[in-house]
Structure 1
Amino acid sequence: MRICGIKLGHDGAIALIEAGRLIFCVEREKRGNNRRYQAIDNFDAIVNDLAEHGLDPRDVDLFVVDGAWWRDGLRLRSGAEPVSLQWASYVESHPDGILAPYGGVGLILDGRSFPYRSYPHVTGHLAAAFCTSPFARAGQDAFALIWDGIIFPRLYYVGRGGAQFIEYLFPLIGQVYAAAADHFGPYTSRSSWDDLGVAGKLMAYIALGSADEESIAVFRGLYEERLAATVQHAANYHAESSVDCSLAAIHDFFHASAIRLKAKRAEDVLASFHCFLERLLIQNLTTILQQYPRLPGSRNLCIAGGCALNIKWNSALRVSGLFDAVWVPPFPNDSGAAIGAACSAMAADNGFVPLDWSVYSGPALQCGDVPPEWEATPCSMRDLAVVLASNKPVVFLAGRAELGPRALGGRSILAAATSGGMKNYLNDIKLREYFRPVAPICLEDRAPSIFAPGTPDPYMLFDHSTRAEWRDKVPAIVHLDGSARLQTIPRTSQHEVAELLVEYEKLTSIPLLCNTSANQNGRGFFPDVASACRWGRVKHVWSGGLLWTKRTPN
């Protein structure tokens, strides 16, 4: 059975599952140097992605469209013709409706009309997280925490036999974290609603500050008074029925906070707000779990939704003692919604069974015309390690692109971490703020000696502390608070970046490199060598055993 999942709107993507295996997932931002979070608004993209894999729309048994809260604002087309389409809601309409589909007709592909299903957006997050998890493979059940931009954090219990909603943890939509940036810090001149990347930037910025109990108490008091209370003025907010209503209540909350905290530094206020939310998350989850002591299976947790990109919250949940194991997929936000849509149909027909998948299932590298001032020479991994050891960054393009928002060695800029100025240099060439961190990619078996905890974390979704004796050895990957967003990779991995790390370790005794995404500012990953060369802000590009170098003018 071939199932094609489709995510329209921002983070547009197309995924194909065949016989329980993920064949590909193509996010629009990873095509043609498109903008980050690029939407799908023309169904020709679906036809073209299928054709690249030798398929016609008629070869697909089932199309599944991700649910959404909006009903307008996206002008859909098939070729030049406008298309009207309906889909499921954002959240299931009743507790037993997590797998209740909306059945539609009129998905126009290559001039033909196809029927389709649609499941709630939250269902896709839950299905993608659980079906890709080690718990599904092991036949274990798990809790699933889904916290997305316009919903309260929702807790489910899921296993092969089905899923049940337990309850929401507290009345704060996920957008509250980004909305704080509209009131405090360096991003008040822009709207968090229009900048899907501001939450991640804010997570980096708070390392400049320190949480203090006085500020946390202010946030707690105003939350209890204005958002957690059951009085009439909070009723509409609690109903989650209006995005505008929720945002208005949140901005009112921050206006009141700003008045009481006007003497505080913005970075300290934001650090305190982060700490307030983290405590609220752990406290309320603890309370709810105490009410469900007899649920079968291990205490496993899957986390999904945009808030699952917050590595500090993920780590706090992992060390809380509430769970035996915690799983976050590499595409917890809407970049994984097409996979989630397809997994929802798979779960509806067969239960929440495990998906056979690889994180390197994105688009293959394309061919392009490299500018004539660039020349290619053969370059082994040993040779490339020598280039990196001389403190020269390299754009590293290998195999198919990674799924999700993190560069994991397939579309990366790699550099030695031994120079204190390398982080600033990489931020400068990528036009990023100075306080943004650069992540390490490290051989898995060496990670515990460099980081705490240093556990295997292949997708950069948890927070680690750099051990004191290593901070001066690899300063470029140490964030302002001493932390690092670690990616580990086994030295036995077949991916070429693992071979490079092994060669670099042999040469320098250091088993890690700086790893940041290979892309233009505000764009998706480079789709080909030609794009990286035209960008030209890194003078070396490696791909397929060739090192491309820009010739110095005579």
Structure 2
Amino acid sequence: MIILGVNGWIERGHDASAALIVNGEPVCAVEEERLIREKHAYDRVPVTAAQFCLDYAGISPDEIDKIGVSWNFPFLYKLHRREWAGSQTLSHYLFGSEEYAQKIEYVDHHFAHACGAYFPSGYNDALVLIIDGQGETFSTSLWWGEGSDLTFIKGYDVNRSFGYLYSAATKHAGFRIGDEGKTMGLSAYGSPRYKEFLEKIMYMDKNGELFTEIKSTPNPSCIDEEGEIIEQWHNHFEKQIPPSKIPLRQVEGNQCYADLAASVQMMLQEMVVTMVTKYTKKLNTKNVCIAGGVGLNCQLNGEILSLPFVDNVFIQPAANDGGTSLGAALALCSTNGEDIKRNMNVYMGPEFNNKYIEQCIKKRGLPYRKCSAVEKETASLLAENKVIAVFQGRLEFGPRALGNRSVLADPSSFQIKDKVNVLKGRELWRPLAPSILTERQEEYISSDYVSPYMTIAFPVTDITIESAPAIVHVDKTARIQTVPKDHNMTFWNIIRHFEQLTDLPIVLNTSFNKRGEPIVCTPDDALNTFIKMKLDHLVMGTYIVDYRE
């Protein structure tokens, strides 16, 4: 069976994406933003992403058996007393024809998230936790995964949204909604002095019941309650802290916003840990799967993994709505009895051969050379304190760059952190992540837990603070990417050669994009961003490009 999963719509849509599953195996997945160069691809149907999936697999829309949509739009629009545009309209957007409407099936949003978290985990059983702004009716939901089945356990309504609470704090600090990762990073600089005040507005009792003063109801003016709920939180925050009128560029002089971030972060962690504690024990499982935008909160994920009764945590690498295209396709696989290949491959996007890469470089007139030992040469340049962009293999699925569309540097100098943040246009206080060889992880990270997708923050060891200060956050944690040899051989080899030169099995790794832009997808994207960022070198395929004014 061939199943196409899609996420994205022209009203209140974000993180549009498409994924294709053939006979139970995901073969490709990509976010629309990477292809059209518009970050988050707001209010977009994933036309380009869907076409990429079909082209990659060499199939036409006629050969698709089912199309899974990651929102139950007919129900959602009815809930808001609106009329849904219809499957014919969606089919026309996707393929330029209404004839594929009968193949479209709508999947409840949180069920799409849950399938995207549970099935790729490979666990035989798990508590599945979905936390985001909202789905059709729930903002948080819990599921029981056992074998090939997923069963709904409990849901919290939209007024109790952890995601909207976090977004409200993000906006109050002067950031854009969608920049919640900045709030997470900022929280480490603060103390939770507003937590007691905030718990008068929303709190959870020891039994996992969640109470709130936030009130909203579905209405025809909008198909979600985001604006209404965030405005209510904003009014509560304002009783303690004025909203920042500009984006927060430095912590100094803005301690109240760091304290707000710390308060919201601690509230989130305590409430989610209460839920996980109750339901892992009730279900008698030691495995937890997580998705939804809040699933990208690596500090929260670290807290969950540190619980003594939790052995394994799997976070869908594309935990945000971009991952629900894969989840919707997996949901239809499950309901149609397909034998699902239950592992996660994050490298599922476009790739380009050396011939095409060289043609793109030649058009720019930049100095370049072909290298027979490109991994070793990349490591040598890193050891010379060069900042290097790497463009290799298939594009990553999800918001993290995991070695194929990355900017790399030597983490042994704290100053390199500031340099890379400046080159990317990021705030200097924001942390940067490490990629580390699995074989030596325990020396540098206070856990041997393999975390290949940069989704969990771990405390670091003293040797890391001394030898790799550029990747240590102010709270002495790091959001690591463990690099097993069999996950990404090229990237593993780069780090291995760097280790042989420096005795440091770690490189600083951040996404290859300028602030406000999506991660690069094509060689032309890479060359444009390389030039704008003024990096030292760009490694694409077997070619090394040198920067010049």
CA distance in 1, matches of 2:203, 2:297: 24
The one-letter code sitting in structure 2 at the alignment partner of 1:53 is A
**Structure 2 residue aligned with 1:176:** 165
**Structure 2 residue aligned with 1:504:** 498
Distance 1:19 1:418, change over 3 A: same
In the superposition, the TM-score normalised over structure 2's length comes to 0.84
Contact between 1:396 and 1:412, CA under 8 Å: does it hold in 2? Answer: yes
Where 2:110 maps in the other structure, the secondary structure is: helix
The one-letter code sitting in structure 2 at the alignment partner of 1:434 is L
Where 1:516 maps in the other structure, the secondary structure is: strand
Contact between 1:22 and 1:355, CA under 8 Å: does it hold in 2? Answer: no
The one-letter code sitting in structure 1 at the alignment partner of 2:468 is V
Determine whether 1:25 maps to 2:29: yes
**Structure 1 residue aligned with 2:126:** 142
**Structure 2 residue aligned with 1:524:** 518
Determine whether 1:204 maps to 2:181: no
- Within a 5 Å distance, the mapping from 1:424-463 to structure 2 comes to 424-463=418-457
**Structure 1 residue aligned with 2:507:** 513
Q: Could you tell me which of 398, 402, 426 is aligned with 2:396? A: 402
CA distance in 2, matches of 1:163, 1:247: 31
Contact between 1:501 and 1:511, CA under 8 Å: does it hold in 2? Answer: yes
Distance 1:46 1:88, change over 3 A: farther
Q: Offset of 1:66 from its aligned partner?
A: 1.7
Gaps of 5+ in 2: 243-253
* Superposition RMSD in Å: 3.2
The Cα offsets for residues 494-528 of structure 1, whole Å up to 9 and x where unpaired, read as 52011111111111111010101111222222223
Distance 1:492 1:92, change over 3 A: farther
Contact between 1:210 and 1:268, CA under 8 Å: does it hold in 2? Answer: yes
Where 1:208 maps in the other structure, the secondary structure is: coil
Where 1:154 maps in the other structure, the secondary structure is: strand
Determine whether 1:273 maps to 2:264: yes
The one-letter code sitting in structure 2 at the alignment partner of 1:61 is D
Contact between 2:535 and 2:547, CA under 8 Å: does it hold in 1? Answer: no
Gaps of 5+ in 1: 69-85, 94-101
The Cα offsets for residues 220-252 of structure 1, whole Å up to 9 and x where unpaired, read as 233359xx8879x76657999844543344334
Where 1:332 maps in the other structure, the secondary structure is: coil
- Within a 5 Å distance, the mapping from 1:96-495 to structure 2 comes to 104-105=87-88, 107-108=91-92, 109-111=95-97, 113-114=99-100, 115=102, 116-135=104-123, 140-150=124-134, 151-160=138-147, 162-168=149-155, 171-183=160-172, 185=173, 187=174, 192=176, 195-196=177-178, 198-212=179-193, 215-224=194-203, 236=216, 242-258=225-241, 265-287=256-278, 293=282, 295=283, 298-350=285-337, 353-365=340-352, 367=357, 369-370=360-361, 371-378=364-371, 380=373, 381-491=375-485, 493-495=487-489
The one-letter code sitting in structure 2 at the alignment partner of 1:143 is L
CA distance in 1, matches of 2:78, 2:111: 8
**Count of paired positions:** 504
Q: Offset of 1:88 from its aligned partner?
A: 5.2
**Structure 2 residue aligned with 1:73:** none
Where 2:378 maps in the other structure, the secondary structure is: helix
Q: Offset of 1:274 from its aligned partner?
A: 1.3
Distance 1:92 1:388, change over 3 A: farther
CA distance in 2, matches of 1:351, 1:491: 30
Q: 426-435 vs 518-527, which deviates more?
A: 518-527
Q: Offset of 1:289 from its aligned partner?
A: 5.4
Contact between 1:278 and 1:313, CA under 8 Å: does it hold in 2? Answer: yes
Contact between 2:214 and 2:229, CA under 8 Å: does it hold in 1? Answer: no
Determine whether 1:41 maps to 2:45: yes
CA distance in 1, matches of 2:211, 2:471: 46
The one-letter code sitting in structure 1 at the alignment partner of 2:238 is H
The one-letter code sitting in structure 1 at the alignment partner of 2:547 is K
The Cα offsets for residues 161-200 of structure 1, whole Å up to 9 and x where unpaired, read as 53322223682341111211333x3x1xx5x4xx31x210
The percentage of counterpart residues that share the same residue type is 26
The one-letter code sitting in structure 2 at the alignment partner of 1:311 is C
Contact between 2:371 and 2:542, CA under 8 Å: does it hold in 1? Answer: yes
Distance 1:440 1:469, change over 3 A: same
The one-letter code sitting in structure 2 at the alignment partner of 1:463 is A
CA distance in 2, matches of 1:477, 1:110: 47
Distance 1:490 1:424, change over 3 A: same
Where 1:440 maps in the other structure, the secondary structure is: strand
Q: Offset of 1:146 from its aligned partner?
A: 0.6
**Structure 1 residue aligned with 2:541:** 544
Distance 1:506 1:491, change over 3 A: farther
The one-letter code sitting in structure 1 at the alignment partner of 2:45 is D
Distance 1:377 1:229, change over 3 A: closer
Q: Offset of 1:32 from its aligned partner?
A: 5.1
Q: 38-47 vs 406-415, which deviates more?
A: 38-47
Q: 249-258 vs 147-156, which deviates more?
A: 249-258
Where 1:31 maps in the other structure, the secondary structure is: helix
Q: Offset of 1:34 from its aligned partner?
A: 3.6
Q: 247-256 vs 126-135, which deviates more?
A: 247-256
Where 1:152 maps in the other structure, the secondary structure is: strand
CA distance in 2, matches of 1:467, 1:127: 35
**Structure 1 residue aligned with 2:64:** 60
Distance 1:103 1:349, change over 3 A: farther
The one-letter code sitting in structure 1 at the alignment partner of 2:230 is L
The one-letter code sitting in structure 2 at the alignment partner of 1:127 is C
**Structure 1 residue aligned with 2:55:** 51
Distance 1:495 1:103, change over 3 A: farther
Distance 1:237 1:167, change over 3 A: farther
In the superposition, the TM-score normalised over structure 1's length comes to 0.83
Determine which structure has the larger helix proportion and give its number.
2
**Structure 2 residue aligned with 1:13:** 17
